[in-house]
Chains A and B, each alone.
Chain A
Amino acid sequence: MMQYEKRLALLLILVIVIGSILYPVQFISLTTFKIFAHQVPEYGIITLALMLVMIASGLDLSVVASTTLAGIFGAIAMSRLAFMGNLSILFGILVMLIIGMTAGALNGFIVSFIEVPPILTTLGTMLFFQGIALIVSQGGAVSSFPEPFLFLGNGVIMGIPVPMIILVILSIVMHDVLMRHEFGRQIYRIGRNKVAASYSGIPVKKRLFQVYVLSGIIIGIAAIIMSARYNSIRVDYGSSYLINGIVAASLGGVDIKGGKGTVIGVFLSLCILSALMRILNLANVEAYLSDSIMGGILLVNLIMQHVIGKIKSVKELS
């Protein structure tokens, strides 16, 4: 299992070497790290939420929609409770987490208990969440939050931005849950084979529901960071994170069929993508082309995995 992560680490080193050969001064600098630490956390957390669902053989197209939905509800709660001073922040955060959780629970209920295919469920709920967010916010931005709240998005502790710290802590916790806990192992088993999992005594429906709720809570955290970073939240924020998230998860070794993928892999793939983007940025590649490059990376990765798999099976045969 760790084979793939080793390969990813090699790829990361390769990218860094290429970058430092091409742009020795700009690439190996504090700016690169700063850009990395500012750009990655938001969609990194969304990718983690996506990964959790994908391991259990699901897919969540509504991640970004539910993130903005949670953000908008929390933001409105904060502005309504502004008279409470800094206590309103606590309520805002709570509302974001609860809305994220509710969104996840709705997805989870439909996927696990009614057994609708996840891609269709989340396609519908994506539009549904977007609709609610649009009606509540009337299409505009909800902005200006209390000063201490912004610290969660822009603050720096010992030179490291707070969102990065949150991402790292979240990754460690998730790694622990997935690798050492019974819950995590059961998720992998469900992802690999649902029928076999249910015969071996795992409450499949309940676990699936829990997975979606858990990913909803993570989405709530992403909503907190997103709204704190921009000091405002709007429906169309982060619309590119869905494709980027799926690319990052897929490159990180998460299989859409389920049962595969680790937090380490996803973290490495986030680093690789960020480094690549930095190199492209330094090379003055048009921003529009970055979408294409993301898609290209995804395809090349799929082809590579296929070819390596073929070579391996040939070796085993001989």
Chain B
Amino acid sequence: MIFNRISGVVRLVKALFMKREGYIVLMTILIWIVISTINPNFARPLYLLDMAGYNSVYYICALGILPLMIMGGIDLSVSGMILATSMVVTMVLTVTDLPIPWLLMVAMGVGVLFGLINGLLISWLKVSSVIVTLATLAIYRGITKYWFQQTTFELSTGFIQASKKIFLGLSIQNWMIILMMLLTFILLRYHKIGRSIFAYGGNKELAIRKGFDQFKTTIFVYSFSGFAAGLSAFMHILLLGQANIEAYSNLDFELIIIIIIGGLNILGGYGTVFGTFFATTFMIILKSGLVFARIPAFWHNLLIGIIIVAIVSYDMLQNKMIIKKRINQWEDQV
């Protein structure tokens, strides 16, 4: 009886590690334990929740670009969309005093619009998503910088109070992360569009023959990323009480790194909400943990760079091994 249970646990752990995102769960727990032993303040669960809330932008945006990266695209314009959306939101605030739910709708709508532009351009011009989103990033960022240089902006107190409301022990930011996770999970797992995204990520030719609509899927994934950016812009304004232009200068690259650490197959067609969540947590713990562990900030980039190159290389080598094995098996059969 007991033996059965133990072997069940062992099987579960094994199953976890057979999956791509298994190691990131282990790494997250490991780095959390290591940093907690160096600095006990880090071990408090409440601190983790606070940290997650404060970094909600990372969670939301990472989940936002997950479908797009499963499909094999890349979106470098997320930070630009966040900036531009927060610009529009602050513009709206200076004109009228909208209640907060309406403002949230405005932010999400504007974000979707920006994402839609990306998606339309990419599917119409049929060029690499890197180039298109790089261009839109430059456009959004330049305009926003210009705008904020002209005007300064202060939030009303009601707005700031709203950001500190706590519901069932979790802050608004934490709830947003959970809702976004649920939304992404349902879309990828149970909605038709999710099937289409995975199909295009796995094999484009087959997906077209199966009758999945390429135009619709492309438009959807980029709009979804824009939606996440709009939501994050709102969260960002809630958190800081102002729109900071320099806040997310490196966000786009970091998001890609998060998604890759989270077990995305770089050849497309695989990626999970679960893995992305843990990868984001890992990155956040790594970033603030290095400070907690009193490792100089100079080492952050180096470590993150090494980690990403190592993981991606390992991934590729493993892929190659699998293909070799299959060829060998096939030859044996013949």
Chain A interface residues toward B at CB < 8 A: 59, 61, 110, 114-117, 119-121, 123-132, 134-135, 138-139, 243, 246-247, 250, 256-257, 286, 288-296, 298-299, 302-303, 306
Are the C-beta atoms of B308 and A127 separated by less than 8 Å? Answer: yes
- The answer to whether residues A291 and B138 also contact, given A120-B266, A123-B257, A125-B309 and a CB cut-off of 8 A, is yes
Interface SS of B by simple majority? helix
List B residues 308-329 near A (Cβ within 8 Å): 308-309, 312-313, 316-317, 320
Are the C-beta atoms of A299 and B139 separated by less than 8 Å? Answer: yes
Are the C-beta atoms of A302 and B135 separated by less than 8 Å? Answer: yes
Closest to B127 in A: A302
In the complex, what residues of A have CB within 8 A of residue B299's CB?
Answer: 131, 135
B176 interfacial contact with A, CB 8 Å: no
Are the C-beta atoms of A127 and B253 separated by less than 8 Å? Answer: yes
Are the C-beta atoms of B134 and A131 separated by less than 8 Å? Answer: no
Would you give the 0/1 interface string for B100-136, flagging 1 where the beta carbon is closer than 8 Å to chain A? 0000000000000000000001001111101110111
B142 interfacial contact with A, CB 8 Å: yes
In the complex, what residues of B have CB within 8 A of residue A289's CB?
Answer: 142-143, 146
Are the C-beta atoms of A114 and B317 separated by less than 8 Å? Answer: yes
Closest to A120 in B: B312
Shortest beta-carbon distance from A64 to chain B in Å: 13
In the complex, what residues of B have CB within 8 A of residue A303's CB?
Answer: 125
Are the C-beta atoms of A128 and B298 separated by less than 8 Å? Answer: no
B40 interfacial contact with A, CB 8 Å: no
Q: Report 10 cross-chain contacts, Cβ distance below 8 Å, ordered by A residue.
A: A116-B309, A120-B312, A127-B301, A128-B305, A131-B300, A131-B303, A256-B128, A294-B142, A298-B138, A306-B127
Shortest beta-carbon distance from A51 to chain B in Å: 14
Are the C-beta atoms of A306 and B125 separated by less than 8 Å? Answer: yes
B149 interfacial contact with A, CB 8 Å: yes
**Alpha-carbon gap, A286 to B256, bound state (A):** 32
Ordered nearest first, which 7 A-B pairs have the shortest CB separation? A131-B302, A292-B142, A295-B138, A128-B305, A127-B305, A291-B142, A131-B301
In the complex, what residues of A have CB within 8 A of residue B124's CB?
Answer: 306
Are the C-beta atoms of A139 and B298 separated by less than 8 Å? Answer: yes
- The answer to whether residues A116 and B305 also contact, given A131-B300, A286-B149, A298-B138 and a CB cut-off of 8 A, is no
Closest to A135 in B: B298
Are the C-beta atoms of B137 and A119 separated by less than 8 Å? Answer: no
Closest to A107 in B: B309
Are the C-beta atoms of A299 and B136 separated by less than 8 Å? Answer: yes
In the complex, what residues of B have CB within 8 A of residue A116's CB?
Answer: 266, 309, 312-313, 316
Closest to B72 in A: A117
**Alpha-carbon gap, A295 to B303, bound state (A):** 31
Are the C-beta atoms of B316 and A292 separated by less than 8 Å? Answer: no
Are the C-beta atoms of A121 and B312 separated by less than 8 Å? Answer: yes
Known: A124-B305, A299-B121. 14 other contacts (CB 8 A): A110-B309, A116-B312, A127-B304, A128-B309, A131-B298, A131-B303, A247-B138, A256-B127, A292-B139, A292-B143, A295-B136, A296-B139, A298-B135, A303-B125
**Alpha-carbon gap, A70 to B6, bound state (A):** 55
Shortest beta-carbon distance from A269 to chain B in Å: 14
In the complex, what residues of B have CB within 8 A of residue A110's CB?
Answer: 309, 313
- The answer to whether residues A306 and B257 also contact, given A295-B136, A299-B132 and a CB cut-off of 8 A, is no
Are the C-beta atoms of A292 and B146 separated by less than 8 Å? Answer: yes
**Alpha-carbon gap, A187 to B77, bound state (A):** 30
Shortest beta-carbon distance from B300 to chain A in Å: 7
In the complex, what residues of B have CB within 8 A of residue A126's CB?
Answer: 253, 305
In the complex, what residues of A have CB within 8 A of residue B134's CB?
Answer: 243, 246, 295, 298
B219 interfacial contact with A, CB 8 Å: no
Closest to B260 in A: A120
B15 interfacial contact with A, CB 8 Å: no
In the complex, what residues of B have CB within 8 A of residue A290's CB?
Answer: 142
**Alpha-carbon gap, A290 to B141, bound state (A):** 10
- The answer to whether residues A302 and B298 also contact, given A124-B312, A289-B142, A295-B139 and a CB cut-off of 8 A, is no
- The answer to whether residues A299 and B135 also contact, given A125-B305, A128-B301 and a CB cut-off of 8 A, is yes
B20 interfacial contact with A, CB 8 Å: no
In the complex, what residues of A have CB within 8 A of residue B180's CB?
Answer: none
**Alpha-carbon gap, A232 to B213, bound state (A):** 54
